[in-house]
Structure 1
């Protein structure tokens, strides 16, 4: 029997490529918005009704939960992101389904991109603001979109796998 390495599997390249692509696109977009476009100076930029570009520094996690300007919180969130990334990588290495490997790659790339923001800027840069009829969605970035998309695919796969198990 051939043993496979614990940290690289048959579909690791799929996840790695999507993680790298997600990370790169997110970081280039953030660099452009902050350094070239100078969104902080021109915000809000109305794109279409219900969608603006703004500059928000998120010192917490999703939706700004647990926001804190303390260095301890910043480093806890960085370490937590890296720990989650390692666990995602181990999961990816053991993956047999291409769709799940792709989803893990999206979550991994997004998590590392946001962790990089915390490391470099002390907070995560967010730009996309959706709102409708007085309801304002939180402000988010490309990494967040990748994370949500990846999680939705993982949930879908989990539900479909559960249905197949109960059909037997």
Structure 2
């Protein structure tokens, strides 16, 4: 996707990711109470957890300063991602990854602005171990970051015969 239209399409797709994230969280808020846990597979439960911190509840024990701090980080990241999308909008894998990261960041940022915390609801567990609860925005960020890394490996410089001597 090239030109201004390409950038607009990437931004609309990111907004779509954020919207799906918010819709999923609204469904969970209507269906579950904070103490609920509903098994949907032998290793997956739906829960309703509120995370005041970042990934894996990092910074969740803060006294409230983390909310504006994490919102600020999300805003700075969004500006950088939009700039990168504008510069590289024809690089499909890279931009798809950026779009997912942007959509996820916007979804979680909206939670922080609206609720003061992020709503997490997917809980993976096996053999007595459980992964921290997460949401669709977290999944989008993780998948997007993986796509960006894979794209980076695709463009790594391979040494020529002359350089390896």
Partner in structure 2 of residue 48 of structure 1: 41
The structural deviation recorded for 1:118 is 0.4
Matched positions, count: 157
1:15 and 2:13 correspond? no
Contact in 1 for aligned 2:34/2:47 (Cα 8 Å): no
- Cα distance in 2 for residues equivalent to 1:75 and 1:41: 24
| Secondary structure in structure 2 of the residue aligned to 1:113 | helix
* TM-score, normalised via structure 2 length: 0.88
- Cα distance in 1 for residues equivalent to 2:26 and 2:62: 22
Partner in structure 1 of residue 57 of structure 2: 64
- Cα distance in 2 for residues equivalent to 1:14 and 1:167: 36
Shift of the 42–13 alpha-carbon distance from structure 1 to 2, 3 Å rule, reads same
1:112 and 2:106 correspond? yes
Shift of the 113–159 alpha-carbon distance from structure 1 to 2, 3 Å rule, reads same
Shift of the 153–28 alpha-carbon distance from structure 1 to 2, 3 Å rule, reads same
Shift of the 141–13 alpha-carbon distance from structure 1 to 2, 3 Å rule, reads same
Cα RMSD, aligned residues only:
1.7
- Give the unaligned 5+ runs of structure 1: 1-7
- Give the unaligned 5+ runs of structure 2: 161-165
- Cα distance in 2 for residues equivalent to 1:33 and 1:108: 22
- Cα distance in 1 for residues equivalent to 2:35 and 2:25: 15
Given candidates 83, 89, 95, the residue that maps to 2:82 is: 89
* TM-score, normalised via structure 1 length: 0.87
- Cα distance in 2 for residues equivalent to 1:111 and 1:102: 14
